[in-house]
Structure formats: structure tokens, C-alpha cells
Structure 1
Amino acid sequence: MPPDRTVRIRRATPGDAESYARCREQSMAAAYAHFMPQEFFDRRLERFDELVADYARDIADVDSHAHWMATDEAGRVLGICTIAAAPAQWERDLGLPEPPVQRELAQLYLTPDAQGSGLAQDLLRTALPPEQEAYLWCMWKNPRAEAFYLRQGFVHDGVEVSCGPTWFDQRMFRMWRPRRPRA
């Protein structure tokens, strides 16, 4: 991403659902291509309209989700971030230990051309200020993300789980960031 590019970080609206979903799918394909089979991405694209509808509904539900997006001067989405009330229903259904905090960083994705630009940190700081506690799930085969979250003050809490058949039984682990005093 050119250093002179103007980036705007703002809350997403239901009208942003398609571009939000498109950014997520493009970013996931780049981040997970080294360990997820092409079939995973193909299946997601087959149900893209359903994903857009899900995002429109989630973005409108401001009581349980906060969706943020970073756009360039042309309005192209460069990154997305979702903060959610927690724990999620799937975590309860699996009987996982309660997370140490009740706010989840549910997703943070950047397009490939925005990676390494500092935008992930800016987006995270806007959506989840450093003094706020939260937890997240990280894929085991994604060391770049793990390193980023460690730099942002997240630590491992020892809980890990399979993502299930939809995600080809990949494993993920939980990290959390304790509340820090405001600087």
C-alpha cells in the first residue's frame, strides 16, 4: 500500500455488507491459502449471497456486534474488524471454558496489498482501544497473525479447539488481552 494513500476507518453500515464480505473472503484466501484447500474457498464463494445477507443482519445488530472498515480514497475496502459480545453460541455449544473477558475480537482482516502497512494496528486500535480487554481465536497455522496479536498485548490462555468439518478440522487457539490502564 503506498504510504501516501489516504485511509479512513469508520463503522460499517448494512449497506456496506457486500464490500465487507468481499474484503473478508479475499483476505481469508490470502491468509489461509497455505493450509486450507481450494474447496474451502470455493464453498464460501458458492454461498456469497448468503454471507452478504448474514453481514447485513450482523452489522445492523449494534447491540452485539461492532463492525469497522478501513477504506481508501476511492472507497475500496482495505480491511475489516468485528468486535462481538461474547462468548459466542458455538463456544457455549462446545462446552468450552468461559473466556476470561466478555468481548471478542471476532475478526481482523486486511487485503493483501494493505498488509505490512500498519493498517491492522490502526484498525485494531480504533475498534478495540489498547486499554480494553478482549479475547480472540487464532488458527494454529497462521503464525503471522499470532505474532501480530502477541505484539498487541494478547497472550495464550491454553484453550484450543477444532474448527470442525466446515473448516476442514483445522485447529485454533484462544488468546486474550487483559485490561490495561489508559496511557
Structure 2
Amino acid sequence: MKILNEPLPGLLLIQPDVYRDERGFFLETWQKERYREIGIEEEFVQDNWSRSNKGVLRGLHYQKKYPQGKLVSVRKGRIFDVAVDIRKYSSTFGEWYGKELSDDNHLQLYIPPGFAHGFTVLSEECDFAYKCTDYYRPGDEGGIAWNDGTLNIDWHVENPIVSVKDEQLNPFSAVILANSEKYPT
């Protein structure tokens, strides 16, 4: 396993070791000590799996009082995955990073607490899996409008399919005001 890069402080793009032969492949998606060696020291307390169809956009989501770190990967299909730094005192506050994750490249993205997260589905169908460092609390969820002009994210899809809930998310400027004392670096 190796870290391919750290595009924003704490955000890690990881390439697990993949062992292939005529039968298929094997890879370790999580091993506490190995991931601790590359800097992921938080405990994961919850695993999630979602399935989405082509063109679906989920996000940008974050937890307000109980921020979650996430280790994300794709089990089937392809996505364009996005993380936005919402740590007010970070040198990269308001910057975003996006990367294609797929069942072919097996890349993982570690998103530390203090980032908003979202993705779009590029394949016909996608199974998306992620580990979380804190429990999901529905009343603690926050979000940023996927089409915010300040962030200007290229989601790699035209006319995405977005939930009613995600269509009603706040612009990034509202997150700046709401998080003025949260997510210190």
C-alpha cells in the first residue's frame, strides 16, 4: 500500500496493494496497523455501503458537531469523488479535491474530519463503500450546495440527478459563517 499524494492537508489518496492472477484479484481494504503507519490514527466505528445509478450526485455532506473522517472506495463501477476543506483555520479552507475512484483502479481516499464530501456516478451503476470515524447523527448533518459558484466544482456529469434534500443545501458562504469556530487545524 502506498500514499499516491496528499492533495490537501490530511486528505490522502491511497493505492492498496492488489494481487492479481488468472482467478481474479485480492486486496486488503483496511488493516488497522498498516493504515496507522500511513497516518490514519482515528478509530472507525461505522461502515456504510450505497448503490447509485449513472448521473446521481450525492453531497456535499458533513457533520456539524461530530465531524466524521471517512475512508472511501468503490466496490463496483466508477465515481468522481470530491472533498472540500471546511476547516476554517486551514490554509486550504474552501479548496476542493476530486478524483475518479473505480473498481478498476481500487484507489481509496481518506477524508479527515472537517471536510464536506460528495460524489457523482460515472458508470451505469456504482457500489460505494466507506468507513466512518464517528456515528451518523441525522440531526447533525450539514451540507453545501453541489452547484455553489464559489467552489465551482466540475462534477464530470451534465444534469446530475440530485435528491430534493441535496437541492436545498446552503451555499458555501453560509458554511463559512456557520463554521467560524469549528474544525480548527
Length-normalised TM-score, structure 1? 0.31
More strand by share: 2
| Greater RCO structure (CA 8 Å; 6+ sep) | 2
